[in-house]
Amino acid sequence: MLEPIAPGLGRAIRRRIARAIGFQREEPLLLDRQYQLWLAQKRRALDRQDVQKRVDTLQYRPLISLLVPVFDPDRMWLVSALSSAQSQFYPRWELCAVDDGSRRPHVRRLLHRFAACDARIHVAVSERNEGICAASNRALRMAHGEFIAPLDHDDRLAPDALLEIVELLNRDPSLDLVYTDQDLIDERGRRTGPFFKPDWSPDLLLSLNYITHFSVMRRAAVDRIGGFRLGFEGAEDFDLLLRLTETSNRVAHVAQPLYSWGQAPTSVAHHPNAKPYAHEAGRRALQSALQRRRIDGSVIDGLGAPYRYRVKRTIGGAPRVSIVIATGAERARLERCRASLERYRGAVDLEVIQCLVDSPSEAARLLNQAAATATGDHLVFLDEVMEAIQPGWLEAMLEHSQRREVGAVGPQILASDGTISSAGMTLGVFGAAGPAFGGGLPPDHPGYYDLARVIRNVSVLTGACVMMRRDTFEAFGGFDQAMDGVEDFDLCLRLRERALLCIYTPYAVVREQTVKKPPLAGELQRRAATLAGRWGPLPSDPYYNTHLTLQQLDFALKARRGFAADGLRRQRLRFRGYFRGKGLELGALHDPMPVVARYAAVSYVDHLTPEEQRVHYPELAEYPLVAPAILADAERLPACDASQDFIIASQLLQQLPDPIGALIEWRRVLAAGGLLFLAIPDSRKTPERSRPRTTLAHLVADHRDGGESTRPAHYDEHVAATFLPCGVDASEHARRLMAMRYAIPHHVWTPQDVRDFLSYMRDARGHPWHVARWLEPRRSDEFFVVLRK
């Protein structure tokens, strides 16, 4: 677990840390807001660029043919799709539209109207509906471009879509397939639900069609494989991609959401079951791929959502597996581990080797020695804290370990409470590598776009449980003792250097017997330094999009400088004229209140330095932090009476156990006429909305005993309002958070509750405040109060 979160942490940081360790539900509203800010920043960046200069510098300018099969779309969606083509910055394109027997009269009229106005748009009409494969092939025959790109009749391209792709083709003209990230677009034109995809990931493509849109393919390569195959309607693009990537591995990815999938009522984007035949067509496309590739196996439905599959490979022969258990001094754990291996060995020829590791620095050498005595064809390195919990786990890893192109295979690892501890690893998280989805998600949680529930490629795997062929392990010299603490990551990087794949499979599951204490920040830094000593600056993880954060475990959108400034700061700028003279800001962290420097001198107060904050909370690494001039708790300020002209407390009052005491303390420090600025979450608009609102009697009791009597209730309410991992007892979870002193919103208020609170302070406490400003923005989840002493 991370250290308890300090009361001085700001709202955005607090939410991000809570999500990182799995306690805070991620509200769709928050995700959408982050993405809207991301899009706004991208639009501003495009506005600042000289786009025409980018076009003029292109040496290679291929013609790109957009293939648009059309059948009965709504007028709005069709106009949107065609207009998005005309809005492209890159001019060398053509659009080949085939009306596949549409029954709605506006379709043909619109197509011909667009064609009459733009010579780059070509239209063909079929008198009867022949299906999307036939229509796509007809559009393909119409095309003259060196590259072709399918565009659905209800989808939309970003204006820089073709330009980004052609710029990549200028850097590497040999590419046969280029694909982009994607999102969704609704009837109002609002873009949501971004899918920031990994780079080329062959095993992921056998689990789901993650490439989908936007994909641009070399025309000659598509012609060689015969275009779109009839009979695969609903999965025609999946089948085409499978066949194309069998003939060429010249695949690249533009990490930008350049294609918006229209959420029309008949679209899979609107409802996954809108085309029930598509799932079966995808399964047949995969089975056909296995036959072409001479892979002995079958295709069965995957876990969870439709359009997810499992390629279940036949295990050749009767391979022997040697499990090397890294043991310590606790015999009970070892016995439980061994018993689970025997219980779930299945029909596997199994050898178990115990390796006593009495010093972590000796682990690599001792494991290598133990592996040298093994007689198995495959090795499994297993920590004694792990236990097998289901049959078939060894076979699920053997399916992939037997493949000559695979270097290592890892399972899904559950924590002792049944939540996901690791679903593969992500290179670069916290400086070295961290577990994907290791934030307390329930075991059946799909993760980001189902990536926790599908077989996929990863860059590194944890040595807590990993399988390799013995000959591969020996050929690479085993673990390197010089890479103390990261010998598993180092070995995976060496495998990757030689073009061998690392595989994560959710169909092999092991569980930690006891709670594993995560490494402290200092240990994380040491590991990162050890890896950097050999590999230099770590390369970006090809299986993890560059727009996703490396400071959390949940595939959240990477924070950009200016996220807060885009929305929240605009609201707070309204107040900067209030601050004059000498004042304090409490817990500013990454987001200090804007003030006019020539009128106001601010001293920042926090209980930790930025360096200490980053040591305790690695999530803060991507933020510039304010250096506090005063190290102190917000409730006990080392300032003289009446010495300050203003105090700023943003997103802080509700975090304190005793708000009455805090207001009394802040009033003491303020001079007559001094201002107190408060930014307070409106409980009606936050994840805490289900909690009971804080009453005056509650606040009085908190002031009387410092908040101790109501502390358990606060944590119980918080746990009830936030995400609770499957199978975890709520009361036990709340007590665990309380023991950590994990910072939570102790109090939840509406604006009226705060008015009542201030009236109480005036009438019962004799501490009147004059309200200088009260603002409740409609589109903000917080409200603002300026009080004058």
Which of 741, 666, 670, 750 is CA-nearest to residue 707?
Answer: 741
pLDDT at 564 over 80: no
pLDDT at 612 over 80: no
Work out the average pLDDT over 626-654: 90
Whether the predicted model's global pTM rises above the 0.75 cut? no
Higher pLDDT, 709 or 491: 491
Binned at pLDDT 50, 70 and 90, residue 705 comes out as confident
Lowest mean pLDDT among 47-61, 108-122, 557-571, 752-766: 557-571
Tell me the range of 169-178, 342-351, 729-738 where mean pLDDT is highest. 169-178
CA–chain centroid gap for 382, Å, is 28
Binned at pLDDT 50, 70 and 90, residue 570 comes out as low
Phi, psi (degrees; rounded to nearest 5) at 252: -140, 160
pLDDT recorded at residue 3: 33
pLDDT recorded at residue 721: 64
Burial class (CB in 10 A: 0-12, 13-18, 19+), 756: middle
Tell me the range of 59-73, 543-557, 738-752 where mean pLDDT is highest. 59-73
CATH T-level assignment (fold) for domain 12-32+561-788 = Rossmann fold (3.40.50)
Question: What class, spelled out in words, does domain 50-301 have in CATH?
Answer: alpha beta
Higher pLDDT, 705 or 591: 705
User: pLDDT tens digit string along 435-455?
Assistant: 888 767 788 888 888 999 999
pLDDT recorded at residue 273: 60
C-alpha distances in angstroms, 143 versus 102, 131, 152, 174, 240?
Answer: 21, 19, 16, 20, 17
pLDDT recorded at residue 507: 97
What does the alpha-carbon distance between residue 331 and residue 140 come to, in Å, rounded to a whole number?
67
**Contact by Cβ (8 Å): 420, 414:** yes
User: pLDDT tens digit string along 25-35?
Assistant: 333 444 566 78
Which of 204, 214, 212, 218 is CA-nearest to residue 172?
Answer: 218
pLDDT at 616 over 60: no
CA–chain centroid gap for 379, Å, is 32
Give SS3 for 384: coil
Which of 56, 67, 127, 119 is CA-nearest to residue 97?
Answer: 67
**Helix ranges (DSSP H) in 49-94:** 51-56, 75-86
What does the alpha-carbon distance between residue 149 and residue 144 come to, in Å, rounded to a whole number?
12
User: pLDDT tens digit string along 180-224?
Assistant: 999 999 888 888 889 999 999 999 999 999 999 999 999 999 999
Same fold, 12-32+561-788 and 319-535: no
User: pLDDT tens digit string along 739-749?
Assistant: 655 667 788 88
Structure-block tokens of residue 147: 């590259």
Cα angle, residue 525 at apex, residues 520 and 528 outer, rounded to 5°:
125
User: pLDDT tens digit string along 76-105?
Assistant: 999 999 999 999 999 999 999 999 999 999
Burial class (CB in 10 A: 0-12, 13-18, 19+), 28: exposed
What does the alpha-carbon distance between residue 748 and residue 726 come to, in Å, rounded to a whole number?
26
What does the alpha-carbon distance between residue 635 and residue 629 come to, in Å, rounded to a whole number?
16
The set of residues, in sequence order, having a beta carbon less than 8 Å from that of 478 and lying 6+ positions away, is: 364, 367, 368, 371, 491
Residue with tokens 């040591």: 615
Number of helices and strands in the chain (H, E): 25, 29
C-alpha distances in angstroms, 567 versus 41, 211, 586, 780?
Answer: 12, 33, 21, 8
Binned at pLDDT 50, 70 and 90, residue 677 comes out as very high
Higher pLDDT, 491 or 14: 491
Domain coordinates in residue numbering, the chain: 12-32+561-788, 50-301, 319-535
Q: What is the mean pLDDT of the chain?
A: 86
Per this entry, what is the length of the chain? 789
- Strands (E) in 228-279, as ranges, are 251-262
Domain 319-535 has CATH 3.40.50.2000: no
Work out the average pLDDT over 629-641: 90
**Contact by Cβ (8 Å): 281, 299:** no
Tell me the range of 153-157, 624-628, 706-710 where mean pLDDT is highest. 153-157
Higher pLDDT, 569 or 318: 318
pLDDT recorded at residue 22: 35
User: pLDDT tens digit string along 491-550?
Assistant: 999 999 999 999 999 999 999 998 776 666 667 778 888 888 899 888 889 999 999 888
